[in-house]
Amino acid sequence: MATDVMVADWIKRIADDERTRDAVRSVGEQTAARKAELIRVHGLRMLADLRAAASRDVDAFRGEFAGDPARDITFDSDPPQGGFVVRKPGTPAVTLALTPRMDAAAVSCHYRFTPAAGLPTREDRFDLMFSDDGDATLRMKHHGTGQVFSTVDALSEFLLVPVLTGRPR
């Protein structure tokens, strides 16, 4: 003899809510896995392209001011943690250090402005995050402002203007 048990409506509602939560969690996990794979496949190439664009742009700027020691900007593409460092020795002196943090899907940017006449040094730090906006195209996004850079050329310009001019944003 089989006995059918009546399930209370509130239990059905909770079970439906849990199924909905499970589905949302599954979509979130799939999205995170897709983004991690996109960063793994394309992130290092994007950073290499950015390094090449920034090096090219620094060389072009130096070419515009050949022989001017205040604008003899150096580009170091071999720091210990990857990334690159750009230095402007003139007054004001400026250093930009870009450090990839692939585990966090981010790139740390650190500016150091050293003005003349013994004024205190100003530092500016922010993160650029890898972003794909769901279309499988990797971009960089400024974590603080939300500004998205669709090309490495646009990102190189954004990063280098404060170094080349000696003026923070």
Whole-number average pLDDT of the chain = 88
Cα dist from 87 to 3, 105, 113, 138, whole Å: 80, 25, 10, 28
For 142-163, write each residue's pLDDT tens digit: 988 999 998 999 999 999 999 9
Residues 44-103 have pLDDT tens digits of 889 999 999 999 999 999 999 998 888 889 999 887 677 999 999 988 899 999 999 988
> CA 125 to CA 118: how far, in whole Å?
22
Q: What is the pLDDT of residues 109-118, one digit of tens each?
A: 999 999 888 7
Share of the chain above pLDDT 70, in %: 95
**pLDDT given for residue 165 in this prediction:** 93
Residue 37 pLDDT > 70, yes or no? Answer: yes
φ/ψ (deg, to 5) at 117: 60, 30
Question: Looking at the predicted structure, is the pLDDT value of residue 2 above 60?
Answer: no
* Residue 134 confidence (pLDDT) above 70: no
Dihedral (C-alpha) 121, 119, 166, 131: value to the nearest 10 degrees?
A: 30
Percentage, residues of the chain above pLDDT 90: 56
User: Residue 136 — very low, low, confident or very high, per pLDDT cuts 50/70/90?
Assistant: low
For residue 73, the SS3 value is coil
Tokens of 64: 């515009």
Round to whole Å and give the CA distance between 54 and 153. 8
Task: Give the N- to C-terminal CA distance of the chain in Å, as an integer.
Answer: 79
